[in-house]
Amino acid sequence: MVAQRRSRVAPGISAAVIECQVDLTNTINLLDSTGGHWDALQRLAANTISTPRQLGPEAMVSDPSNTRLYRNVDDNDLVNAYVTILRRRRPVSSIMAAFIEGRPVFSSSWLYDHSHLCISVLEKNAIRSRKIIIP
């Protein structure tokens, strides 16, 4: 899905499959509701985001062709600020979160056809091994 979107903007970019092992020791795990991350993110957002610059998830269904749909600048800025704050107290090498994308299975469903788990590696040394499977 991401490669399809980017290839429209930058022709010549194609998808690849990369196998890697990532050390998750210093990961911000946004799948774990007990870590306090969500409360901290909500407080930070309340203090920093006054006028949202991005579209919300409802736009995936109402207008999936909108070119602004995946420009999540507020989310990106919020997470970057949070990582900066956390790094004052401890190392942060990656972030793990779930993302909904695509269309719902039915109108009120939370199951979307392109949902995925994403691990964003912030520190190169967190990648233990890597190899290209499909170029």
CA 41 centroid distance within chain: 14
Contact yes or no for 21/128 (Cβ under 8 A) = yes
List residues bridging with 130 in a β-sheet.
Answer: 20
Phi, psi of 45 (to 5 degrees): -65, -40
pLDDT tens track for 21-58: 999 999 999 999 888 999 999 999 888 877 776 656 66
Compute the distance between CA of residue 37 and CA of residue 132 in angstroms, rounded to an integer: 33
Beta strands in the chain (DSSP E): 17-22, 27-29, 94-99, 116-121, 127-134
Q: Which are the contacts of 19, defined by CB distance < 8 A and separation ≥ 6?
A: 130, 131, 133
Q: Parse the chain into domains and list their residue ranges.
A: 19-134
pLDDT tens track for 59-98: 666 666 766 666 677 788 889 999 999 999 999 999 999 9
